[in-house]
Amino acid sequence: MIELLSYQFMQRALAAGIIISLVCGILSFFVVLRRLSFIGVGLSHAAFGGVALGFFLGVEPTWTAIGFCVAIALLIGMIKHKGKIQEDTAIGIFFAANMAFGIMLIGLSHRYNVDLFGYLFGNILAITAYDLKMITAVGSLVLVITALFFKELLFCSFDEEMAGICSVPAVPLNYLFMVLLSLVIVVSIKVVGIVLVSALLVIPAAAGRQFSSNYRAMLPVSVLVGLLSTLGGLFLSYRFDLPSGSTIVLLATLIFGLSFLWEHTRK
């Protein structure tokens, strides 16, 4: 284990894993409480459209993915706020449309890109120094903003309409939350991939909720579950030569399963 840490790629993988699981653990808390479990899927596939756009235009895919994903997130928020259709319908539309958009752009760019596989399924062991910088910057930003608006985000998750009546700026905060989610999804893609990133935004809090009836306990437990799955998954994937993203997600699912059993045998 010690000699493992002497590898630079492993140090970067660990640092990225810790930051991502911390941030995803906290956001998953709100995703689960807001019953928005499908949002991660919608936005990560929007990120796929953005990544493909980057390949097509020949620019750094992370930036196009951030721009594209944030735009789609705001659009979903706007449709929910203004339109007659529900949020999950809006997500359902964009989920498929962005995937189609991405596939079309990749078809048009006429070149097979090895990197694409990395975006789809993630490879934490291939995190570059640049990736780690992005993850650190975005992770810290999201953590600070979430901490600053924690009480308002909590109230809006509980009862958005009532929060608005109690003079909490519920609508702007809803947009802010969508933007934070997009940012985290885009930087997490390198670690677990577009296909699996939504798991990190649901499973930690789903497990955390089994253990606790108050958010003060649920939040740290969610973060802990995220950390355990990411670090444990990373170790297992290295030790047994397994794909990192899927090992992390399967370990998280296992922890959720155990938490579920624990909660139901306790009753």
Partner 1 sequence: MKVLEISNLTVVRGGTMILDNINLELEEGQSLAVIGPNGGGKTTLVKTILGLLQPQTGSIRIMGLPPESVIRKRPGTIGYVAQRAFYDPDFPVSALDVVVMGKYGKIGLLRPVGRKDREEALSCLETVGMADFALRPIGQLSGGQQQRAMIARSLITHPRMLILDEPTSGVDAGSQENFYRLLRDLQSSLSLSIIQVSHDIALVPSYSDQVACLNKQLFLHGKPDDVMRSDILKQAYGCQVEFLFHGTMPHRTVEEHRGHHD
Nearer of residues 103 and 148 to partner 1, judged by Cβ: 148
Q: Does 214 bind partner 1 (CB under 8 A)?
A: yes
Nearer of residues 100 and 217 to partner 1, judged by Cβ: 217
Site map 224..253 versus partner 1, x via CB under 8 A: ------------------------------
CA 253 to chain CA centroid, Å, is 15
Q: Does 82 bind partner 1 (CB under 8 A)?
A: no
Hey, what's the torsion of the CAs at 247, 249, 251, 254, to 10 degrees?
Answer: -140
Hey, what's the torsion of the CAs at 6, 7, 9, 12, to 10 degrees?
Answer: 0
| Distance separating alpha carbons of residues 190 and 192, to the nearest angstrom | 6
**Binding partner 1 by CB under 8 A: which of 67, 92, 118, 169?**
169
Long-range contacts for 249-252 (Cβ within 8 Å, ≥24 apart)? 249/192, 249/196, 249/199, 249/200, 249/203, 252/199, 252/200, 252/203, 252/204, 252/207, 252/225, 252/226
Query: Are the C-beta atoms of residues 28 and 200 closer than 8 Å to each other?
Result: yes
Binding segment for partner 1 (CB under 8 A), chosen from 20-28, 123-131, 144-152, 235-243, is: 144-152
Site map 34..53 versus partner 1, x via CB under 8 A: -x------------------
**Binding partner 1 by CB under 8 A: which of 209, 229, 230, 248?**
209
Least Cβ distance, residue 155 to partner 1 (angstroms): 5
Cα-flanking dihedrals φ and ψ of residue 187, to 5°?
-75, -20
Least Cβ distance, residue 34 to partner 1 (angstroms): 9
| Distance separating alpha carbons of residues 32 and 54, to the nearest angstrom | 31
Q: Does 8 bind partner 1 (CB under 8 A)?
A: no
| Distance separating alpha carbons of residues 189 and 211, to the nearest angstrom | 28
Integer CA distances (angstroms), 253 to 65, 202, 240, 248, 249, in order = 27, 10, 19, 9, 6
**Binding partner 1 by CB under 8 A: which of 33, 99, 143, 254?**
33
Least Cβ distance, residue 161 to partner 1 (angstroms): 7
**Binding partner 1 by CB under 8 A: which of 159, 257, 258, 261?**
159
Q: Which residues make up the interface to partner 1 (CB under 8 A)?
A: 33, 35, 148-149, 151-152, 154-155, 157-159, 161-169, 209, 212-215, 217-218
